[in-house]
């Protein structure tokens, strides 16, 4: 079967904070491509970079292709709150997929995050990677009673988590809220530097990377996958990985997933951030506000998601959403200067249960997909690298079915 590839989309608009920083050097671009590779990865953002690094570690010949410069698609628009907690609270995910499966998803998410930190540290990737605790504020998804049920279930599953009341939130963190859960061991990073660091490691091991290159068709055969490029060249690989983010290729199932739009700001440098421990902050709400700090003392704040999947409609809201984020941030943390120095918007993904879809596409033996939609996108990218590496090596990950494309009948989240 011949399948068409995705169309080029405007993935973000405005001025993402990371675009104002000096980017790490691009990896060396390959001038002459071979006809065949073990694995061809489509997409040179954080997902493709993590997959490429993992596969070259196993000795595979790898080619990474992108229509843009590496890490200049959705990666540069990320606010890079790297969390193990899923968009769907554990108490609600349990109702959707079962307690054992929900706890397994949370545990694998935390293991993937730890692996990402350990791997980046071991490889010497400099990306302002730092460990942060997280504050999960009561909202319209989980109120104070809901947060207590969430704490009890996470504790029973082996996660360290504590409860913070309204008075302590205000006195110790300078935040307005009825209550919060504090969890431990999340991360922040510069997503562009992180992505390029992993890609440069892959190239140093022999991987090829080329851009701008457009793939227009792919066809899976019995023993290889054939790719047709826009310029007429044909490439072949034993396996192909579709790490194309929100530019979905034909044949990638989207049931239970959808694309929407999100908005973000970065403030001016603060004289003092009121939450002195520099926690990540997010809400048990739908949609939720999410907040972190940067190494130079700014506050990144995102949210206000809208069910919009066109560039024009998304971009028309940027000015209004910027003011809305400034107002929400000022109410949440009265001690901040909440004025935006940078503002941007971009496409974002969500799934019915907060879980990604990763691995072999249904009906395929050599084409792997990666829908790491949700607030855990980079964490899911690391999980995808682990799962795909195991599959291509001929092994079987015990949790592959939980995260696979055909894992279960998806259903909407239950009401409280």
What is the chain's length?
416
* Of 45, 88, 79, 9, the residue nearest 351 (C-alpha): 88
Q: What residue ranges of the chain have pLDDT lower than 50?
A: 409-416
> CATH 3.50.50.60 occupies which residues in the chain?
2-78+192-255+354-403
Sequence-distant (6+) residues with CB within 8 A of 148 are: 163
Query: pLDDT at position 276, please?
Result: 66
CA atoms of 259 and 252, how far apart (whole Å) = 14
Query: Can you give the three-state secondary structure of 160-174, one letter per residue?
Result: CEEEEEHHHHHHHHC
Query: pLDDT at position 22, please?
Result: 84
Query: pLDDT at position 406, please?
Result: 79
Query: pLDDT at position 409, please?
Result: 42
Q: In the CATH scheme, what architecture does the domain 2-78+192-255+354-403 have?
A: 3-Layer(bba) Sandwich (3.50)
What is the pLDDT of the chain when averaged over all its residues? 92
Query: pLDDT at position 5, please?
Result: 59
Sequence-distant (6+) residues with CB within 8 A of 363 are: none
> CATH 3.30.9.10 occupies which residues in the chain?
129-187+256-351
**pTM attached to this predicted model:** 0.94
Cα torsion for 373, 375, 377, 378, to the nearest 10°?
A: 180
Query: pLDDT at position 3, please?
Result: 59
CATH code at 129-187+256-351: 3.30.9.10
Q: Name the phi and psi angles at 84, rounded to 5.
A: -90, -20
Query: pLDDT at position 415, please?
Result: 30
């Amino acid at each position: 079967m011949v399948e068409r590839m995705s169309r080029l989309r405007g993935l973000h608009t405005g001025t993402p904070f990371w675009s104002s920083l000096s980017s790490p050097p691009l990896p060396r671009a390959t001038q002459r491509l071979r006809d065949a590779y073990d694995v061809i990865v489509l997409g040179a953002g954080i997902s493709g970079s993590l997959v490429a690094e993992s596969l070259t570690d196993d000795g595979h010949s790898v080619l990474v292709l992108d229509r843009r410069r590496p890490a200049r698609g959705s990666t540069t628009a990320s606010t890079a709150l790297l969390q193990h907690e899923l968009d769907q609270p554990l108490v609600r995910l349990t109702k959707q997929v079962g307690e054992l499966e929900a706890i397994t998803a949370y545990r694998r998410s935390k293991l993937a995050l730890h692996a990402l930190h350990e791997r980046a540290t071991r490889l010497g990737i400099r990306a302002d990677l730092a460990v942060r605790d997280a504050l999960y504020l009561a909202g319209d998804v989980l109120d104070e009673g809901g947060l207590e049920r969430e704490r009890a279930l996470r504790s029973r599953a082996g996660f360290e988590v504590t409860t913070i009341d309204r008075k302590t939130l205000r006195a110790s963190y300078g935040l307005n809220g009825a209550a919060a859960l504090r969890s431990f061991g999340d991360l922040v990073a510069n997503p562009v530097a992180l992505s390029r660091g992993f890609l440069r490691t892959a190239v140093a091991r022999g991987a090829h990377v080329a851009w701008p290159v457009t793939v227009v068709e792919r066809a899976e055969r019995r023993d290889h996958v054939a790719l047709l490029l826009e310029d007429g060249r044909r490439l072949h690989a034993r396996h192909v990985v579709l790490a194309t983010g929100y530019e979905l290729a034909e044949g990638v199932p989207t049931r239970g997933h959808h694309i929407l739009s999100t908005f973000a700001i970065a403030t001016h440098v603060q004289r003092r951030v009121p939450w002195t421990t520099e926690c990540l902050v997010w809400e048990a709400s739908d949609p939720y506000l999410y907040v972190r700090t940067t190494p130079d003392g700014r506050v990144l704040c995102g949210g206000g998601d809208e069910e919009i999947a066109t560039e024009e409609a998304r971009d028309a809201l940027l000015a209004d959403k910027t003011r809305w984020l400034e107002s929400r941030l000022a109410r949440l943390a009265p001690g901040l200067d909440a004025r935006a120095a940078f503002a941007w918007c971009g496409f974002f993904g969500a799934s019915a249960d907060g879980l990604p879809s990763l691995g072999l596409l249904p009906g395929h033996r050599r084409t792997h997909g990666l829908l790491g939609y949700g607030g855990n996108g980079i964490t899911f990218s690391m999980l995808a690298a682990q799962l795909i590496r195991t599959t291509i090596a001929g092994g079987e990950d015990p949790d592959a079915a939980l995260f696979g494309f055909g894992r279960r009948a998806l259903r909407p989240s239950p009401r409280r």
